[in-house]
Chain A
Amino acid sequence: DVKVTQSSRYLVKRTGEKVFLECVQDMDHENMFWYRQDPGLGLRLIYFSYDVKMKEKGDIPEGYSVSREKKERFSLILESASTNQTSMYLCASSLSSGGWVTEAFFGQGTRLTVV
């Protein structure tokens, strides 16, 4: 059974803290993604990676960075957490298939609250 695992379901952090959200997939997928989901705004792409050590900005990268040192792991970093980063964070992975997008597999989500 394919699996994308996010390190925490719920997280509470203080303003100004550096926050690490970890995501691991066991499907040998090339592509990995971080989205945030807010009511009325849907899912917005923060960053994605199509290979080890490669990263591309999505629509809302400000205040975030990412790290992909190994194929199976994609980390989202909040350099200095702020209250407007309180959100549900979703990690996903997908296979590369000759340039075609394939289905994405999602983790269970991390609900982050910044106080």
Chain B
Amino acid sequence: SQQGEEDPQALSIQEGENATMNCSYKTSINNLQWYRQNSGRGLVHLILIRSNEREKHSGRLRVTLDTSKKSSSLLITASRAADTASYFCATDARAGNQFYFGTGTSLTVIP
């Protein structure tokens, strides 16, 4: 399986703090994506970073990619209670249009 792995599995922070979660993967990729899932719901796309990019921003989100270490990080700045969710990374390690998800980080933001 090409499945990635997020770290930590669970994270609990106070509102206003920054949250950082990491993703490691096994093989070379074309791009990496981050998704968010609210409890019992489908996933929502947050951001896509290509293998030739090192950093990308979207609002309060900052994603970095280190292809030499086969890892990525997602930083959420000034967290809010509404950011409480699970966060997944997805990679397209194989040829073709499919992609593979990690096991997720469960983030709890305490008001």
Contacts and interface: CB of A to CB of B under 8 A. Distances in A.
A106 B90 CA distance: 13
Per DSSP, chain B at the interface is loop
Interface in A10-35: 30-31, 33, 35
A42 B42 contact: no
A109 B40 contact: yes
Contacts of A44: 1, 3, 101
B76 to A, nearest CB: 19
A106 B44 contact: yes
Contacts, number: 70
Contact of A40 (B33, B99, B103): B103
A92 B45 CA distance: 11
B98 to A, nearest CB: 5
A56 B31 contact: no
A113 interface: no
Given A101-B31, A103-B45, A42 B98 contact: no
Contacts of A94: 97
Given A30-B97, A44-B3, A104 B102 contact: no
A31 B101 contact: no
A108 B37 CA distance: 10
A109 B41 contact: yes
21 contacts: A40-B103, A41-B103, A42-B104, A43-B101, A44-B101, A45-B98, A48-B98, A50-B96, A50-B97, A58-B98, A88-B40, A90-B43, A94-B97, A96-B97, A103-B45, A104-B43, A104-B45, A106-B35, A108-B42, A109-B40, A111-B40
Interface of B: 1, 3, 30-31, 33, 35, 40-45, 48, 88, 90, 92, 96-104
Given A48-B98, A103-B45, 7 more contacts: A42-B104, A59-B3, A88-B40, A100-B31, A101-B30, A104-B99, A106-B44
